[in-house]
Structure 1
């Protein structure tokens, strides 16, 4: 199984940005833990602060035949029709992940333009949301 993790704006600052919300671990160190914990899965990661680059990566992921995409679109969750359209335009299954509980934050964060096009959304479990998303892909594969 091949899974691509795509992280959006400001997620390159994990470990230093608002650790009371996002924790103190960098995504690179967490990604190493994911690779160790899911050795049966070919994991790749990508991060960009640029909306168009995230859209390009979503489209490329389909071409590269990933079995699933874990997408944390960051603040673009609430503002980007273009990313929502990209998710709805590809056949690769997408699980939307948020580190914080977005429903416990500012009102604008309560609306996701991405969710209706994703197979599921995981929010509020910290970095463990990525593990849960990988497990959801594995469970789906086992069920089929």
Structure 2
């Protein structure tokens, strides 16, 4: 029987000539996804970090009391967690916290606001991306890798 996988555990390409193109880009694509996800979380959390108590009413409306505790935590998770994800520092805990926040937004848009799947789909996609990094961690292009340790 012929070996159908690479040493990295991925299936061999149907068109082997293309492996020269996409195998070297594998790590870069993962890094790009992590950096973009983190950077976009930062931009989403920027307004919240400027006014950390601005979402007190919203979080209490979702049942998170006291809002004066949860609102700044939401702001910090999005803003600082986004920075950590982007640079790959403490990637797993930052991505796990972001995943929890995003699952709440799935509930908020999909159920609380009654928007259904159409309203929750971006949050579902975001949660899947952050969950990937919560499980996988950062790759070799990260501060975690430079430190030689991951959480």
Using structure 1 for the length normalisation, give the TM-score.
0.32
Greater fraction of residues in strand: 1
Greater fraction of residues in helix: 2
Structure possessing the higher relative contact order (Cα contacts under 8 Å, 6 or more residues apart) = 1
Whose radius of gyration is greater, 1 or 2? 2
